[in-house]
Amino acid sequence: MAEFLASIFGTEKDRVNCPFYFKIGACCHGERCSRQHNKPTFSQTLLLLHMYQNPVHFQKQGVQFTEEAVQKHFDEFFADIYCELEEKYGPIDELNVCENLGDHLIGNVYCKFRREEDCQKAVDALNNRWYNGSPIYAELSPVTDFREASCRQHELSECSRGGFCNFMHIKTLSRDMQKTLGVRTVQHFTDWNKGGRGGPRGGGGRGGWGSRGGHDSRDKDRSRDRRRY
């Protein structure tokens, strides 16, 4: 019996544990899910909830963004996150950003560190930090194989569910930025010590990193927002 239960763990046949949470670290039913979400106590993968703000999703009525502008915004965001996480917490094996529209996946950033201890260090630190004027929500994720978590149809531009697919639609980094990150010459795009506003919500330049110290009213907002997910 134990062997059978182990063989179906995290699959559709498992009537106890949620297969979607096991595969993608998120579930469209959230806390209302009828199956268990077994949050890991240790993992190589960090999940930053709803961190990427796609300008297309936040554009004002009548404002249009070119594909080039959206890609440039994403490339800078990706490099910003990559540089900060790797320099402060440790070597990264994979960094993936979702472009899904569903509430449980929108803007999610998954970072797979080489070492579990670096991932835990990042979770502990990032839950006390801000980015682009908003608090960061960081947690350990069960996802280790992004080939299983991502939508194969999306990779072929054939997904019929579009942005509301329950599997990851991983946003593609431009070749130029891939090369730049590969030779490790990316420059910082923000001042890490400032929690200024920017990007789609704030206007002006891109956002920045900051610590939580002294933001009492924001701490209340943080607790309220966390209850939504």
For residue 166, give the CATH number of its domain: 3.30.70.330
Q: Are 111 and 84 contacting, i.e. CB atoms less than 8 angstroms apart?
A: no
pLDDT greater at residue 158 or residue 72: 72
Q: Are 100 and 52 contacting, i.e. CB atoms less than 8 angstroms apart?
A: no
Q: How confident is the model at residue 105 (pLDDT cuts 50, 70, 90)?
A: very high
- Verify that 44 and 3 share a domain, yes or no: no
Strand residue runs (E) in the chain:
45-48, 92-97, 109-113, 129-131, 134-135, 138-141, 209-211
Whether pLDDT at 190 is above 80 = no
Q: How many domains does the chain have?
A: 2
- Note the pLDDT tens digit of each residue in 113-160: 999 999 999 999 999 999 988 999 999 999 988 888 888 888 888 899
- The whole-number pLDDT of residue 92 equals 94
- Verify that 33 and 45 share a domain, yes or no: no
Whether pLDDT at 195 is above 70 = no
DSSP annotation of 10: T
User: For residue 75, what are the contacts with CB-CB under 8 A and spacing of at least 6?
Assistant: 173, 174, 176, 177
- Verify that 5 and 70 share a domain, yes or no: no
Helices and strands of the chain, counted as H and E runs: 10, 7
- Verify that 79 and 59 share a domain, yes or no: yes
- Verify that 199 and 125 share a domain, yes or no: yes
Q: Which domain holds residue 33?
A: 1-37
- Verify that 72 and 159 share a domain, yes or no: yes
- Verify that 159 and 195 share a domain, yes or no: yes
- Verify that 96 and 165 share a domain, yes or no: yes
Tokens representing 122 are 């990042």
Whether pLDDT at 207 is above 80 = no
- Verify that 64 and 133 share a domain, yes or no: yes
Q: How confident is the model at residue 189 (pLDDT cuts 50, 70, 90)?
A: very low
- Verify that 66 and 107 share a domain, yes or no: yes
- Note the pLDDT tens digit of each residue in 23-61: 888 888 878 888 888 889 999 999 999 999 988 877 666
- The whole-number pLDDT of residue 11 equals 52
User: For residue 178, what are the contacts with CB-CB under 8 A and spacing of at least 6?
Assistant: none
The CA-atom distances, in angstroms, between 95 and each of 34, 133, 140, 170 are 30, 22, 14, 10
